[in-house]
Structure formats: C-alpha cells, structure tokens
Chains A and B, each alone.
Chain A
Amino acid sequence: MKLKTYLMGGAALAMMASMAHAGDVRITVAEYSSKTGPYFDKMAAEFEAANPGINIDVEVTPWDVLLQKLTTDIAGNANADLAIIGTRWLLDFVDQGIAEPLDGYIDDEFSGRFIETFLSPSVMDDQIYGLPVAASARAMYYNKALFEQAGLDGPPETWDELAADAKAISDLGEGISGYGLQGKEIETDVYFYYPMWSYGGNILNEDGSSGFGSDAAIQAATLYKSLIDDGLTQDGPTAYSREDVQNLFKQGKVGMMITAPFLANQIKDEAPELQYGIAPIPAGPDGDRGTYGVTDSIIMFANSGNKDEAWQFLDYLFTQGPRSEFTLGEGFLPVNQAVSEEPAFADNADLNAFAGVLPDARFAPVVSGWEEIADVASSALQRVYLGEESPEDAMSRAAKEANRILGK
C-alpha cells in the first residue's frame, strides 16, 4: 500500500516537473510577414511589464509548416498553451477535444469588440473556440493603365464583361494577358469558386453533399477553360501559384486578378508606380456573386496548464492598440469594430473596397476532410486547364470523390 502511494507521489512529481513553470504561457504564431515575429515579441514584452510573474514565450512558425508543427506537437503532447490556426482546421481541433471552449472567459464587453462576421466562423455548437486574429476577403484587382490603353472605362461587372475586357487587354500584345488565372498550389480551388458562386453554385448542397457536379460548377470550369483556350489568361496557368500570379500583376503583365488585401501592401512596397483599382468580384447572369472570406483564429489548448494567464494575454492582444498595430502592419481587414473605425482604416480606399464585398463573403465549409475535398477540386480543375478532361467529366468525378470523403 505504502509503496503504491510512494509510486503515485513520484509519478505526480514527475508530471509536475514535466509541466511548464507556473506563469509561463507559450504561444505558437504563424509568420504572416517579416513583421509578425517582432510584433509578437513586442506585445509579449509590454504584457510582461504590466503583469509581473507571467512569462510569454513566442514561437514563430512559417505558414507552410504550421499545421505540420501543430500536428506533431499535439501528437507528442508538447503543444503550446495558445496557437494561431486556420479557422478551417478548427473543426478537427474541436472534435478531438484539443481546443478549449472560451465562453467561460468571454463576457459581453469582450465579444462586443469583434465584427460579428469574423467571429461567427469560430463558433461551433454554440461555443466560441477561437478568436479571429487575422481576417481577409478577396476582391478583384485591375490594372488601370492597361484598362485605359485597351479603351475600357472601368472594371467588369459580370463574367461576360470580364471575358470581353480580357480580350481587349490581351489584344494589346507584348506578352500581356487579360486575366491572371491561378492553377497551382494552395487556393487553386478557391479561384474557381468565384465564378461558381456567381453562377449560383455552392461548395456544398443543402443536403450536405458536394456541389462540384452542379451546372454552375461546370459552367464556371467551362468559362475558365475557354479563357485559357482563347489566350485571355497567361500561358500554362497550372504552373502559376497565387504568388506567381501576383508577381505578374505587379509587373503589369496581367490586367486583372482576384486576391486578398495584402497584394495592395506588396504593390506599395515593390511596384509603387502601378496604377491599380480594386473592384468586387464580377456577378453572374442572375446577379449572384460571392467572395471568399478567411479568418485565422487563436485557440487555447484544452491541456494547457496556465489557462488563466493565457487568457490574460489574449485579453491584452485583443484590445484596440495591439489589434490596430497588427492589422495595419500585416495588411489584414480589421476584426475589431473600434479598429475599423480608426482613420487609418476608415479612410483607406483599398480596405474600403474589401469591406464593401464582405456582405458576399463565404467561408470554407465546416466539414471534416475539407482540405482533402479542396485538393480533389484543385486536381479536377488542373485536369480541365490542361485539357486532359472535359469540364463535365472532371467536375462530376470531383463531386463523386468529394461525396465519398463527406460520407454522402
């Protein structure tokens, strides 16, 4: 009996020794830009100065390997107390009991700080599991100089107009293409959802099955394929990731592309001469349109040993000053109501253009296996762009594959 008590005491001691020092809060953050690391270090220093006894440890991880790092950390039971994650991964974290519900800490004052649209994707089963830290939506960038040269007076309102404008710009020659089409790596599928939404399609049908086989999806894929065949996009879109197309836009080699607010920041730094405008995503024949909304959230781990200290740090991060500095530095959309009303944001024409499309924002569906479904769609589109498969065949095969993953 006594031996057993000793053993248990020893085990408890060993466990305590392996646990983090009381008052230590580790946070894993994604590296959005070279400013991210210094920003969080500064926040940690300011917070530590105001809260003696709490020590903040910041781990900066590049986006590409963030999910891999979190996965291995969790598998090895060596995860931090807080982490930034893509909100579209949240379902798995909640299902497996990895993320701690935050409702116990949140009062009305705190939840009132957020813009509702951006907080809602982090709510599951009526519980808040994450706090939106970065938000972005997509809109269409167009090169004003090229539009002028081609004799066009403004950005296209519909996809039919877009095709006509792309033709006029491509006819300028000199290796310039009308529409920059992404066909490689992350968000290849998203680039196709824009026309699909405009034609009235959805990623998931009402019954939860895949909408990739719908008429709208096939119309959208057919539209992109015809743009490629008519030479209205850059050559070989399947070799161009989002960053590659953005580079083409910065070089003035494509007339239009759809991407996130951060391109405006990059243009300011790298191509300040470029005359560009930001417009909503073109509408479909019935006036439908949709843009892609993305948020990243900070979650608290359920196995954290210092939840109260971790929460104190979160509370600080989500006050107006720190939020404003982060959002401005990284070029995201404000997620805090008060921040969005600051002159730096309210008077910024680029950000206003993005704020204008928010009512049309759609988020990645909350289903497990989403990344795999997105990959199925991307692969199907790549086969269409390469001409290996017709839009009908590729998209109905993608729908079948997606339904298998969805269990429908």
Chain B
Amino acid sequence: MNEGTAHSAAGPAQRSAARRRHAVPYLLIAPALVLAAVIVLWPLTVIGNISLHDVNRFGQLRGFSGLANFAELWRDPDFIATLWRTLIWTIGVVGGTLILSVPVALVLNRDFHGRALARVIIMLPWSVSVTMTAVVWRWALNGESGMLNSALRAGGITESNIVWLSSAATAFPIQIGIGILVSIPFTVTVFLAGLSSVPEDIYEAASIEGASSWQQLRTITLPMLRPFMTLAVVLNVIYVFNSFPIIWVLTQGGPANSTDILVTYLYKLAFRFGQMGQAAAVSIIMFAILLAITLLYVRLVTKTEAKS
C-alpha cells in the first residue's frame, strides 16, 4: 500500500519507467516459467484430475468421485505403514550417503599416489544402471547359491546360509545399504566440487596459527561445504524418495508389503490392480510431501545461513 501511494506521487514518466524496470525480470524468467508449466504443471493437473475421479483400469474417467480415492488410501493400513517406511528409507539412504560421502570426498581431495584410480573406482557404480545393480544384488543375495553367503561361509563368518530376502528384517536394511552405495558417486562428486572451491591459503594460514586438522575440518571445510551439502540433501531426497528399481527388483515390496515404499505401492496399485484413481492420489500425496520437505529444508538452511 505504501509503495502504491509513493508511486502515485511520482510523475507519469517515472512511473512507466519504473514499471518497465519491474517488468524486465518477469520477462526474463518467462520462458523458464512456461517450460516449467508445460512439463510440471500440466501433468500435475492431469493427475490431480484423475485422482478426483472414478477411473477404470485403462485410465478412462468414469465420473467425479471427490476425495473417495484419498479416503480409500487412508483406510488402507498398508498405505500408512508404507508412508512411514518411505520416510525411514529416505532418511536412511540420504543420511547414510552424506555420512559416508564426506570422508570419501575428503580423502579423494588429497593428493596421493593412485588418486585418479581411486576416483574412478568410487564413481564406477554411477555408470551402471541402478536396475542392473539391483539385479546383480538379487543374485548375490540368493539364499542357496548367492555369492554373499558363499563369501561369508568361506570366510568362516557364518556357518549356514542366511536367506537375506525372506523377511523385511534383513531385506530392508540391505536395500537401504544398496541405496547408499548407488547414491555415493553423485554425492561425492558434489562435495569434491565444493572442496576444490576452498582456497588452499586459508588452510595454510590456519596451520600457521596452530589449528589442528580437526579444527580445520570443523571451522573451515565443513562451513565452506554447507551450500553443497544443501544441494546434495535436496537432490538426494527427491531422487531417493522416488527411487523404484532397488526395492522392486529385490522384493517387489514383499513379503506381505513389508518392504514397500510409496513408489512401489503406487506401481502395484496402477499396473497390477488397475486402481488408477488411487494411484494418482498417491502421486499427488508424494508430490505434496516432497514439495513440503524441500521448501522446509531450503528455508531452514537459508535462515541459518542468514544468521551466521
């Protein structure tokens, strides 16, 4: 309001110039906005529309049903359990990835003999498709003829075969572990980029002042890595939350839905049971959760950054 009165007090020429200045940024972001609208908003409205309808298994709308699809989901105890499990999955994989990636990146950032080779080895899992990795793990985890059991027995660690995928108690932690393994290359790359942007002379100055390497890590390296940390968290959360192949290939969410996460649950609803309306509702819920988490996290980070 105040602004408005200030403007009207100014002359007409100034006003139009000001308006033009205001318009420029909008014009500049317009193409990006249009693109985002086409590839994000349009499918979102279509899915939103499906989720509010009674839909047959071929995706053809059969009449408005309000929030019936959502109500049906809340009634399903498997959905609620899956919702929680998805959070454990996401926090487990992203948390584990971050904890392991920081030391790996720090080591790879040092100059040592064979660093190039070590970097290649760390990055290698990235070049294999996640589905293929999961298929290889499925073989390795086979109870009777899997490599993992053979290795454990040959090493004298276990005496009899463990059937890893027979229950969630062993299957789900292993799935999280594989999730961490395939997320590390990307995360390490992000951190390496961050580390290379820290100027060497800060460390020199710090060691002249007598700072121990632990102090250097805590007060120089980690704070300088913070923006890269934010990036890694947000991108990994989005990616892991929606990650399908590991769980699908190893257990298809079983036994008895005990390793389902939202995206495998959604796939079963849509393409096995033909419940397109409920599947669309799950999509909408997933989108809302991701949006909320991302906004919350980014806001939290910008706040702490502003404070420091």
Partners in one complex: yes
| A residues neighboring B (CB under 8 Å) | 67-68, 71-72, 74-75, 92, 96, 98, 175, 183-185, 234-240, 244, 247-248, 251, 253, 369, 371-372, 375, 378-380, 382-383, 385-386, 388
Complex interface: chain A residues within 8 A of B167 (CB): 236, 238, 386
**Cα separation A234 to B165 with both chains bound (whole Å):** 13
CB<8 Å pairs between A and B, sample of 16? A67-B271, A68-B270, A71-B58, A183-B255, A185-B254, A234-B144, A235-B143, A235-B163, A236-B167, A238-B255, A239-B166, A251-B145, A382-B254, A382-B255, A385-B255, A386-B256
- Asked if B129 CB lies within 8 Å of chain A CBs, one says no
| Chain B: CB-nearest residue to A404 | B75
- Asked if B110 CB lies within 8 Å of chain A CBs, one says no
Complex interface: chain A residues within 8 A of B272 (CB): 67, 371-372, 375
* Chain B, interface SS category: loop
Interface residue ranges of B240-269 to A (CB < 8 Å): 251-252, 254-257, 268
Task: Flag if A379 contacts B257 (CB, 8 Å).
Answer: yes
Most B CB within 10 A of own CB, among A74, A236, A378: A236
Complex interface: chain A residues within 8 A of B58 (CB): 71, 74-75, 92, 96, 98
Complex interface: chain B residues within 8 A of A379 (CB): 254-257
Task: Flag if B256 contacts A382 (CB, 8 Å).
Answer: yes
Of A72, A369, A383, the residue contacting B273 (CB under 8 A) is A369
| Chain A: CB-nearest residue to B55 | A75
**Cα separation A251 to B166 with both chains bound (whole Å):** 20
**Cα separation A63 to B252 with both chains bound (whole Å):** 16
- Asked if B294 CB lies within 8 Å of chain A CBs, one says no
Most A CB within 10 A of own CB, among B58, B273, B275: B58
Given contacts A71-B271, A184-B255, A185-B254, is CB(A92)–CB(B163) below 8 Å? no
Task: Flag if A71 contacts B57 (CB, 8 Å).
Answer: yes
- Asked if B142 CB lies within 8 Å of chain A CBs, one says yes
Task: Give the A-B pair count, Cβ closer than 8 A.
Answer: 94
- Asked if B109 CB lies within 8 Å of chain A CBs, one says no
Complex interface: chain A residues within 8 A of B142 (CB): 239, 244
Given contacts A71-B58, A92-B57, A244-B142, is CB(A375)–CB(B268) below 8 Å? yes
Task: Flag if A237 contacts B166 (CB, 8 Å).
Answer: yes
Task: Flag if A236 contacts B273 (CB, 8 Å).
Answer: no
| Chain B: CB-nearest residue to A383 | B256
Most A CB within 10 A of own CB, among B56, B163, B255: B255
Task: Flag if A239 contacts B163 (CB, 8 Å).
Answer: yes
Of A239, A253, A386, the residue contacting B164 (CB under 8 A) is A239
Complex interface: chain B residues within 8 A of A253 (CB): 144
**Cα separation A59 to B59 with both chains bound (whole Å):** 22
Given contacts A372-B273, A386-B166, is CB(A96)–CB(B256) below 8 Å? no
Task: Flag if A371 contacts B59 (CB, 8 Å).
Answer: no
- Asked if B189 CB lies within 8 Å of chain A CBs, one says no
| Chain A: CB-nearest residue to B142 | A244
Complex interface: chain B residues within 8 A of A238 (CB): 165-167, 254-255
**Cα separation A96 to B252 with both chains bound (whole Å):** 29
Shortest CB distance B281–A (Å): 16
- Asked if B283 CB lies within 8 Å of chain A CBs, one says no
Given contacts A96-B57, A239-B163, is CB(A71)–CB(B274) below 8 Å? yes
- Asked if B230 CB lies within 8 Å of chain A CBs, one says no
| Chain A: CB-nearest residue to B141 | A239
Task: Known A-B contacts: A74-B58, A96-B57, A239-B143. Give 4 more (CB < 8 A).
Answer: A92-B58, A96-B58, A238-B254, A382-B256
**Cα separation A116 to B167 with both chains bound (whole Å):** 43
Complex interface: chain B residues within 8 A of A175 (CB): 144, 161
Task: Flag if B145 contacts A247 (CB, 8 Å).
Answer: yes
- Asked if B14 CB lies within 8 Å of chain A CBs, one says no
**Cα separation A383 to B167 with both chains bound (whole Å):** 10
Task: Flag if A75 contacts B166 (CB, 8 Å).
Answer: no
Shortest CB distance B252–A (Å): 6
**Cα separation A98 to B142 with both chains bound (whole Å):** 41
Complex interface: chain B residues within 8 A of A375 (CB): 268, 272-273
Shortest CB distance A94–B (Å): 12
Of B57, B166, B251, the residue contacting A236 (CB under 8 A) is B166
Complex interface: chain B residues within 8 A of A98 (CB): 58
**Cα separation A267 to B297 with both chains bound (whole Å):** 56
| Chain B: CB-nearest residue to A73 | B58
**Cα separation A400 to B232 with both chains bound (whole Å):** 46
- Asked if B45 CB lies within 8 Å of chain A CBs, one says no
